[in-house]
């Protein structure tokens, strides 16, 4: 075989080998870049978790200190709030003498409502004064804008009362300072309306007349303004029932006054006595 025929296939094989080597090197280089990229991403992810974990650890360690700081801050704020309320209560107490000094048969003490119901037929309230503060059952609870209710039960430091917004409570009331007298009771629906009953048909009044406590009670002092008259209706053809728009806002009550009639026991005892005609 001629020499040039043997050289031709060798050159061709060498060329193919070189081409394959170059391709393999390119593939290896490309694969190495992909590997580097993957390793780089894994490294970044790992470092992010490590750094994030260390931040969380530092935050957790500092959380107790932060809670202690907030607790101390809340304690200071609560103390300031108590001092503010004490000053407010004292100011209210100081105003009682001037506000109710005309009612000589009653003694007065300030109190704060700590709980009250408004959405029942037999509503109640609880005040922050009890037997150790001189509160007794059957004391009246009032403000300068109306009657709030009657103390029903007393503990050492708190008292339970029946609200005026209670179907079992009525207050002897008068239209004007010298007008007709009748029992005033809650209308059973509204927080600002009551009904004045048993007013004689012959008595004439004007819508907008002020309704006051009559003083015909051993529980409430006289001349506390309660509300103003509205419309009326005739009952059984004999008496009027008159709508009364109350002054007191029962949805925003806080400060009240305990009114105790110092002669109440004597009055009750006299009422129990039989008259000479009945003996």
The mean pLDDT value for 160-170 works out to: 94
Task: Evaluate if residue 237 carries a pLDDT over 80.
Answer: yes
Nearest alpha-carbon partner for 211 in 250, 174, 248, 171: 174
**pLDDT at site 105:** 79
Task: Evaluate if residue 42 carries a pLDDT over 70.
Answer: no
**pLDDT at site 215:** 86
| CA–CA separation, 103 and 112 (whole Å) | 22
Contacts 24+ apart (CB under 8 A), 85-91: 85/112, 88/255, 89/255
Average pLDDT, the chain: 77
pLDDT digit string, tens, across residues 44-64: 565 555 455 555 555 555 666
- Answer whether 135's CB lies under 8 Å from 251's CB: no
Task: Evaluate if residue 147 carries a pLDDT over 90.
Answer: yes
Distances (CA, A) of 136 to 59, 150, 152, 171, 268: 56, 10, 9, 19, 15
| Residue in the block written with tokens 């790992």 | 46
Task: Evaluate if residue 164 carries a pLDDT over 60.
Answer: yes
| CA–CA separation, 175 and 214 (whole Å) | 9
| CA–CA separation, 108 and 159 (whole Å) | 15
At 134, list the tokens: 């001189």
**pLDDT at site 186:** 95
**Element holding 261 (H helix, E strand):** strand 255-261
The mean pLDDT value for 185-201 works out to: 93
**pLDDT at site 75:** 60
Task: Evaluate if residue 172 carries a pLDDT over 90.
Answer: yes
Nearest alpha-carbon partner for 257 in 117, 148, 125, 164: 148
**pLDDT at site 264:** 73
Distances (CA, A) of 25 to 30, 144, 202: 9, 101, 121
pLDDT digit string, tens, across residues 69-111: 666 666 666 566 656 666 666 666 555 544 554 455 788 888 9
**pLDDT at site 20:** 64
Confidence of residue 153 (pLDDT cuts 50, 70, 90): very high
Task: Evaluate if residue 220 carries a pLDDT over 60.
Answer: yes
Name the 3-class secondary structure at 227.
strand
The 3-state DSSP composition of the chain as helix, strand, coil percent (nearest 5) reads: 40, 30, 30
For the entire predicted model, the pTM comes to 0.63
The mean pLDDT value for 121-130 works out to: 93
Confidence of residue 207 (pLDDT cuts 50, 70, 90): very high
CA torsion sign for 262, 268, 273, 276 is: positive
């Amino acid at each position: 075989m001629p020499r040039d025929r043997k050289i031709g296939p060798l050159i061709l094989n060498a060329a193919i080998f070189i081409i394959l080597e170059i391709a393999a090197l390119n593939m290896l280089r490309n694969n190495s870049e992909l590997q580097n990229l993957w390793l780089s991403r894994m490294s970044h992810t790992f470092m992010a978790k490590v750094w994030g974990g260390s931040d969380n650890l530092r935050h957790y360690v500092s959380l107790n200190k932060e809670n202690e700081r907030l607790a101390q801050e809340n304690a200071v704020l609560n103390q300031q709030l108590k001092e503010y309320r004490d000053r407010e209560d004292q100011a209210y107490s100081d105003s009682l003498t001037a506000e109710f000094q005309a009612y000589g048969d009653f003694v007065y003490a300030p109190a704060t409502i700590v709980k009250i119901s408004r959405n029942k037929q037999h509503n109640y309230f609880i005040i922050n004064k009890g037997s150790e503060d001189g509160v007794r059952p059957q004391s009246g609870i009032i403000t300068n804008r109306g009657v709030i209710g009657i103390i029903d039960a007393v503990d050492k430091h708190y008292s339970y009362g029946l609200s005026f917004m209670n179907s079992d409570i009525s207050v002897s009331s008068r239209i004007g300072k010298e007008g007709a007298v009748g029992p005033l009771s809650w209308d059973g629906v509204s927080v600002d309306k009551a009904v004045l009953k048993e007013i004689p048909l012959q008595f004439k009044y004007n819508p907008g007349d002020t309704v006051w406590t009559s003083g015909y009670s051993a529980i409430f002092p006289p001349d506390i303004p309660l509300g103003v008259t509205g419309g009326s209706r005739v009952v059984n053809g004999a008496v009027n029932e008159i709508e009364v728009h109350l002054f007191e806002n029962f949805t925003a009550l806080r400060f009240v006054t305990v009114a105790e009639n110092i002669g109440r026991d004597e009055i009750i005892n006299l009422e129990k006595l039989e008259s000479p005609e009945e003996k």
